[in-house]
Structure 1
Amino acid sequence: MAQHIYGSNVWRSNDVGRVEEMLKALVLQGDRADSPEEVLAPMDIDAPLAAEMSCEKKSANVSAFNLPDINMLIDGSETETANNTSLSESTNIDQLAGVCVGDTRLELSQARTTSSNSRPSRATTTNSTFREMIREERPWTHAEMKAHRVSFLSNRLIGHEPISTFAGNCEKTLPDWIALLRNATLPNGITSEDPRIIAAFKAVDSVICGQGSKMLRRLANVHLMRLFGSLEAIIETDRETGRIHREPYYRDDHVAMDIYISAQETHSNTNELRLMLRRGRKRFSKRWSDLATASPLFVLVYSDAAESIVYVPLPVRCFIC
C-alpha cells in the first residue's frame, strides 16, 4: 500500500479516505436548510470578516467536492491524470478566489482611477519654457540691461500712438513754424557783421522765452543751434578772407557767442551773461537738437517726458527768459 510522506508524519491511504468522508459530511451538514444552527446577519463592521469567511467556505466546498480519488493517486499508471485533476482543482480554487475578492479588486481599481483623475495635472515644461526659466534666474548682462532701459525710455518718449501725436502737433504748429523760418533764416553770401544775424537771434529768443506754444519752443531751440552753426561757418569764411582778425586761442564759436550776446537786451555783466547763455539756453537747445537728429520736426513726436530729459537742474540758472 502506498504511503505519502509529508514532513515527519506518515499518512496511510485509508486515513486520507476517512478524512475525505468526514469533510464531505461536514459540508453537507452546513449546506442543509434545516440546520440547527442559526445564522446571524453580520453587522456592517463585520462585513470584511464575513466576506473572508464566505471565500474560505467556497474554497472548502471546492476542495471537498473536487478532491481526486485516492485510488488514482495509488495507481502509478494514472499519475498524469491525477496531476491534471490537481491542476484543474487549483484553477477552480483560483477562479472562486477571484470571484470572492473581485469586488475588492474593483473597488481598489476604481479608487486608483479616481485618485489619478483627481490628482492635479502638472504643466508640461517644454525646452523653450525651460530656457526662459533659466534666463529669468540668471542675472542680466550689461547689454540686456541697456536694451531694457532703452526700450523703457523709448516707450516713455514717443508714447503709445506716435504717428497720431506727430500728425496733430504738425497741424497745430506748422503755420507758426513757417513764419519763424521766414524771420530767422540767414541768407547766403553775408558777413558776420550783417544786422540780419541779430534780427534772427531775436526772433528765435522771442519764441524760446515764451511767445509761442510748447511745440513751437522746441522747434525754436533746434533752430537756434542751426543759427549758431551757420554763423560759425560765416565767421570761418570771414577769417579765411581776412575780413576779421581772430586772436590766438579765440575760436569761431567764441566769436559767434559774442554776436549772440550783442543780440540780448541785457548787458549788465557780459561775463555772467555769457556763462548763463552757454550753460543754460544753448545747452538746452543742443539737447533738443540731439533729439531732433536729422529734422527739426522730429521733436513734435516726443511726449512730455522729453522735457524732463532736456531741462535738468544746472549749477547756474538762466535768468534771461
Structure 2
Amino acid sequence: MLEVSSFSTLFPQYREKYLQEAWPVVKGALKEYGISCELNLVEGSMTVSTTRKTRDPFAIIKARELIKLLSRSVPAPQAIKILDDEMNCDIIKIGGLVRNKERFVKRRERLLGPNLSTLKGNTVAAMGNYRGRGLKQVRRIVEDCMKNVKHPVYHIKELLIKRELAKNPALANENWDRFLPKFKKKNVKQKKPQTKEKKPYTPFPPPQQPSKIDLELENGEYFMSDKKKSAKKWQEKLDKQSGRAEENKRKREAAFVPPKENTAGPSKSDKNASDNSEIADIAKSLKRKAKEFRKNEAQESVIAESYIASNDELRQKKKKKSTKSK
C-alpha cells in the first residue's frame, strides 16, 4: 500500500502481563495479512499499521478490532478469529445506561466474561455473525439487563426454547408466544438508609463535662471517709430494694381489687330493653283476657232445656227396656 494507516488503543494495567505473554501469537497472526503490530508497555498501548506487504486494505480494520478485543479481556485465541471475513464483533457501551454507580455495578455482575469472571469496564465485547442475528440478540440481552427490563437468564431460556421449536417444521409458520415462558417482574423493596439528623453548626466547642471529682465535690462526698461512703452506698441500695418491693407488692394486690360498679343511670339500650319487655307483657295479658271473654260467651249461650229430658222420651225408654227383658 502507498499510504500507511495505523490505529492504536490503550489497555488496562491488569492486562499487561497477559498481553506480554500472548503477543508473539498475535504478531504471527497479523504477519500473514502483512500488518505490523507494536506493544508499548510504558504508555500502555497497542498499535497496528499497514506495510508494503499489505494486500487487503480491509485487513487494517480487522486488526483494529483485534486490538480492541484484546484490551477488553478477550483471550488471544478467541480474538484472533476476528481476522476471518465471516466473523464480526460488537462493542456495547453500558457506562451511560445507569446513573447510580452501585446499581450499575450490581447489574453488571449479571454479565459474565471469560472464565466466569464478571465484567470490569464500561463496555461489553461480543463476537459472532450478523447473518444469524446473534450479535443483535446479544446487544438486546445486555441492554435489557442494564435497564433492568429482564434478567439474562430469562433471555437465554427463551433462546433455547426457540432453538428447539425451530427444529419442528410443523411450527415454522406459527406464533411461538404460547410456548415461551412469561416471567413476572418482582419489585423488591430496599431498606431505606438511616439518616442521622445533623445538629446545628456552632463555632464554639461544647461545654466541658464535669469530672468524677467535680461531682463528688458538689455532693459533699469528696471530704467523706471511706467508711461513710460505703455506708451511704449501702443505704442507697436498700432504698432502691425497698422501692422495688413496694412496687411489686402493689402490682400483686392490683389483681385482687374488684372492678368499680357502674353507679350511673341505665343507658339507652337498657331503657329500650325494658320498654320492649313491658309491651310484650301487655300483649300477653290482652290475649289471656280475650280467651276468657270467649269462654264466658260460650257458657252464656247454652240452653238448659236442651239438657233436660221430656216425659215422652222417658216413657219410650221404659217400654224398650221392658220388651228386651221379656
- TM-score category (smaller protein): under 0.3
Q: TM-score, normalised by structure 1?
A: 0.15
- Structure with the higher fraction of residues in strand conformation: 2
Q: TM-score, normalised by structure 2?
A: 0.15
Higher relative contact order (CA 8 A, sep 6+): 1
- Structure with the higher fraction of residues in helix conformation: 1
